[in-house]
Amino acid sequence: MTIASIDIGSNTVLLLLVEFNPLSQIITTIANFQKIPRLSQGLLPNGEISKEKTDCLLDILLNYKNICAKYNCSKIIINATNAFRIASNSSEIINLVKDKYSLEINTITGEEEGRLTFLGSAFPFLEFESKTVIDIGGGSTEIIFGDQEKIIYQNSFDIGVVSLSERFLSSLSSSGAMIINAEVHIDKIFLRLSEHIPANIATIAVAGTPTTLSCIKQGIKIFDEKLVDNSNITSSELKDMIRVLKELSKEEVLKKYGKVVEGREDILLAGSLILYGIMQKLKLNKVTVSSKGLRYGAVVDYLLKNKLMEIDR
């Protein structure tokens, strides 16, 4: 059976297509699609997602629905995260999408987002020990710590690449003082993190920031999941990349790194600072990059809840 999983984030709208074999119990990725409408641009709590952004989302979902039809998907799962959580007109958009396209959008809590992200990123490690998962989004950052039996700690932090950029880094030529202010803010947000998660434990980083940084490290101009998935970024490598990003305008970032940063050229520094701040707090020497996460976790969760898949831990 073919299953589609769509993640409506604050910055991106992502589509994952997988094939599930009930006999072998294997999930195989067919394709990934990405659009970057940045729904949360200028969005404040209880504010509205603009008509322009809503129309953009409608176009993307129609395109994704047509792709799903082409691949004969038997199930389409759609989860919306922080932008929909804080927008006052989320329900209107959800009803609009349902009326126009017969698609059901589920707005999930930060806790549920963390659970699904952990399930998706940790699931490939069938015999995994305790791990931490970092998911840096556009409007929030989820950090989850757990093992094969349970989630021990999770939190949705009110900081993301779009929100941090809009507050402190309005342009990549921001002054050194603005960058320092951003770093101080990050430090405050994650001040007590080390009280909940052991130092230097195996950590998986998911979403656009780490996957893009992995491409930059490897000199990849166009995203290649096979090269990115399970790659590593060390603390010193990230520090070096941040040093370079601080000196570049968004145009220079795009010119230097190519299509792989397109749509993220003005927020990559913010994401890098957040990731580095977390690594410092948890004394991480490296993180393992995963291209899986919420979308993949949503598929696994659907299969488990419908008793199509069994996990023998």
Could you tell me the maximum CA-CA distance found in the chain, to the nearest angstrom?
Answer: 58
- The confidence score (pLDDT) of residue 184 equals 94
Give the alpha-carbon dihedral of 276, 277, 280, 283, to 10 degrees. -80
For residues 134-145, average pLDDT: 90
Sole residue written with tokens 């291209």: 291
- Please enumerate in sequence order all residues whose Cβ is within 8 A of that of 38, keeping only pairs 6 or more positions apart, or say none: 10, 11, 53, 138, 162, 263
Contact 253, 172 (CB under 8 A): yes
pLDDT digits (tens, 9 = 90+) for 95-114: 999 999 999 999 999 889 88
Residue type, 163: S
Q: Is the pTM of this model over 0.85?
A: no
- The confidence score (pLDDT) of residue 176 equals 80
Using CA atoms, how far residue 92 sits from 7, 95, 109, 229, in Å, is 18, 5, 18, 37
Residue 267 has pLDDT above 50, yes or no: yes
Q: Is 259 left (phi over 0), alpha (psi -120 to 50) or beta?
A: alpha
For residues 216-225, average pLDDT: 88
Residue 211 has pLDDT above 80, yes or no: yes
- The confidence score (pLDDT) of residue 208 equals 87
15: tokens are: 């589509």
- The confidence score (pLDDT) of residue 128 equals 61
For residues 298-311, average pLDDT: 88
- The confidence score (pLDDT) of residue 124 equals 58
- 171 — pLDDT class (breaks 50, 70, 90): low
Residue 127 has pLDDT above 60, yes or no: no
Residue 125 has pLDDT above 60, yes or no: no
Share of the chain above pLDDT 70, in %: 96
The whole-angstrom separation of Cα 67 and Cα 174 is 40
- The confidence score (pLDDT) of residue 86 equals 92
Residue 313 has pLDDT above 50, yes or no: no
DSSP string covering 93-158: HHHHHHHHH----EE--HHHHHHHHHHHHHTT-TT--SEEEEEE-SS-EEEEEE-SS-EEEEEEES
Contact 231, 288 (CB under 8 A): yes
pLDDT digits (tens, 9 = 90+) for 34-89: 898 989 888 888 899 999 999 999 999 999 999 999 999 999 999 999 899 999 99
- The confidence score (pLDDT) of residue 175 equals 62
Instruction: Provide the 3-class DSSP secondary structure of residue 74.
Output: coil
pLDDT digits (tens, 9 = 90+) for 243-255: 999 988 889 999 9
- 130 — pLDDT class (breaks 50, 70, 90): confident
- 94 — pLDDT class (breaks 50, 70, 90): very high
Neighbours of 38 (CB within 10 A): 23
Sorted by where each starts, the structural domains of the chain and their CATH numbers stand as 2-110 (3.30.420.40), 126-290 (3.30.420.150)
117: tokens are: 């992200």
Contact 272, 209 (CB under 8 A): yes
